[in-house]
């Protein structure tokens, strides 16, 4: 199981690390440059607002289906047609809810148009996730990996053409970007649907009320978890845009998006690991196999780079943000310089939380596979309430930076709670050797970053920080082997005997 897990995980990570960074840092970043911080800030707030209501769009069916199909492959043919119909009905209800809530909180005609198209895009995005849950449940990880990058691959092609044409400079530039997403998601969804269709023996649209009611009851805990986690992960930009005065809220949301975009890109690694872990954990637990060795392995493999990334982005926050956002076409140079500094401060806090987010993806996925939804929902409810309270207090005083502080605190608190819950449920022994290794490694990474910033090379006239940053990365890599956080010998042993 370990061998299959590592092989498939490696393929999925390779495909996504090849495609998605190009989209995030090549296309998305360039689109924000051309449409302007304020326009992109509105889009970012609308995107996250539509995400908050996806409890009705998905209702936890995706996670429930992933776990269910991985343990009972024969249920794909039996349930696919009925679940497909249920997803369509939920999509209609979701769009109605989006419109009603959007009008209630004061969105005007222009924002409602953007919200409607974004709502449809969200349906496509979650429909793709549902279809991929079937592929993951069947352990068709190679196919799942291709589908996971298909929409972004299409967006890269469309984005290059649209950026070159200058269409994003127009008044409706951000709408063209959203329309391009609609096309890309549609192609990916249709492709995934046709692949799943071949794996089923029959398909017919039918409404089975007793079956739908049974599925909704079983997936309700997953739906509640999705809603609660969506709120404390995505409500930040919505509160920034709504709480601050007109004009200020748009720009602050756009500034927050600059830092959040990089966190979202790095989260892709942990998210993909969780996507593979859920069916693997589910199958191992069904056959009463010990999950502790796999938990230790993935904790080392995922948290080691997370610590390096989080600490490294804290020490090199200004340099990295300036590298990514070095120019603009819509704001004055003075305003944009201010945005860069604000983004750097926000970025440093958000990237530190990547350590907590990675921890959540490991232990949250384990608890989900084991069916501990009650504990997870209590944890998520606590995180949501605290995040909203902290945001309400801190946004008024510190604007987007206050939201970043709230997000980081919430992520670390909920991650610690999940580790404690998992330790108690699975009776994991307190591995002080591993804990000490993590602490020692983190302290060493901080020291390496601090020392690397002090280095001076007179023969480099410009971009000296890149040399320092590279030395830091190499130093942290060596330190990972010295402290035993990464062991090639252990990995080869798993590949050989796993």
Q: With CA atoms as reference, report the closest residue to 221 among 367, 82, 119.
A: 367
> 400, 238 in Cβ contact below 8 A?
no
Task: Give 117's pLDDT tier (boundaries 50, 70, 90).
Answer: very high
Residues 476 and 485 sit within 8 Å (Cβ to Cβ) = no
Instruction: Enter the tokens of residue 173.
Output: 């530039």
User: What are 251-273's pLDDT values in tens digits?
Assistant: 888 888 888 878 877 887 777 77
Higher pLDDT, 163 or 203: 163
The predicted structure's pLDDT at residue 116 = 92
In this prediction, residue 71 has a pLDDT band, given cuts at 50, 70 and 90, of: low
pLDDT tens column, 100-116: 988 888 888 888 999 99
- Give pLDDT tens digits for 306-353: 999 999 999 999 888 888 776 544 444 444 455 778 888 999 999 999
CB 312 within 8 A of CB 469: yes
Q: How far apart are CA 86 and CA 79, in angstroms?
A: 11
pLDDT at 2: 53
pLDDT > 90 in the chain, percent: 29
């Amino acid at each position: 199981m370990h061998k299959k897990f590592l092989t498939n995980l490696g393929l999925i990570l390779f495909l996504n690390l090849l495609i998605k960074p190009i989209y995030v840092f090549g296309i998305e970043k360039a689109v924000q440059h051309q449409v302007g911080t304020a326009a992109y800030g509105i889009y970012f707030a609308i995107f996250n607002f539509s995400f908050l209501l996806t409890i009705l769009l998905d209702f936890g069916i995706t996670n429930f289906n992933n776990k269910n199909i991985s343990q009972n492959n024969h249920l794909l043919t039996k349930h696919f047609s009925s679940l497909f119909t249920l997803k369509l009905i939920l999509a209609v209800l979701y769009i109605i809810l989006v419109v009603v809530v959007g009008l209630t909180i004061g969105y005007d005609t222009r924002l409602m148009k953007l919200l409607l198209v974004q709502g449809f895009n969200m349906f496509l995005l979650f429909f793709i996730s549902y279809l991929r849950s079937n592929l993951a449940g069947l352990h068709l990880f190679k196919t799942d990996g291709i589908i996971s990058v298909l929409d972004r691959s299409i967006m890269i092609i469309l984005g290059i053409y649209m950026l070159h044409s200058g269409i994003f400079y127009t008044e409706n530039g951000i709408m063209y970007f959203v329309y391009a997403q609609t096309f890309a998601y549609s192609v990916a969804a249709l492709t995934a649907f046709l692949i799943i269709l071949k794996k089923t023996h029959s398909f017919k649209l039918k409404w089975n009320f007793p079956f739908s009611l049974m599925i909704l009851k079983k997936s309700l805990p997953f739906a509640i978890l999705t809603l609660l986690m969506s709120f404390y992960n995505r409500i930040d930009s919505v509160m920034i845009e709504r709480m601050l005065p007109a004009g200020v809220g748009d720009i602050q949301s756009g500034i927050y998006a600059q830092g959040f975009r990089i966190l979202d890109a790095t989260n892709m690694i942990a998210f993909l690991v969780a996507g593979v872990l859920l069916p693997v954990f589910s199958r191992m637990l069904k056959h009463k196999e010990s999950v502790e060795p796999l938990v230790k392995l993935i904790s080392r493999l995922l948290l080691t780079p997370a610590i390096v990334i989080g600490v490294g982005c804290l020490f090199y926050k200004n340099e990295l943000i300036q590298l990514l956002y070095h120019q603009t076409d819509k704001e004055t140079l003075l305003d944009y310089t201010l945005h860069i500094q604000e983004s750097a401060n926000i970025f440093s806090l958000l990237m530190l939380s990547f350590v907590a987010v990675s921890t959540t993806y490991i232990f949250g996925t384990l608890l989900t596979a084991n069916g501990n939804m009650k504990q997870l929902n209590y944890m998520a409810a606590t995180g949501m309430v605290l995040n909203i309270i902290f945001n309400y207090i801190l946004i008024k005083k510190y604007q987007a930076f206050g939201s970043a502080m709230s997000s980081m605190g919430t992520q670390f608190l909920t991650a610690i709670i999940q580790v404690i819950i998992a330790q108690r449920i699975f009776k994991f022994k307190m591995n002080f050797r591993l804990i000490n290794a993590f602490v020692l490694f983190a302290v060493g990474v901080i020291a390496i970053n601090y020392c690397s910033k002090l280095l001076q090379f007179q023969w480099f006239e410009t971009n000296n920080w890149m040399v320092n940053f590279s030395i830091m990365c190499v130093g942290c890599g060596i330190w990972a082997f010295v402290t035993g956080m990464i062991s090639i010998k252990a990995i080869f042993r798993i590949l050989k005997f796993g």
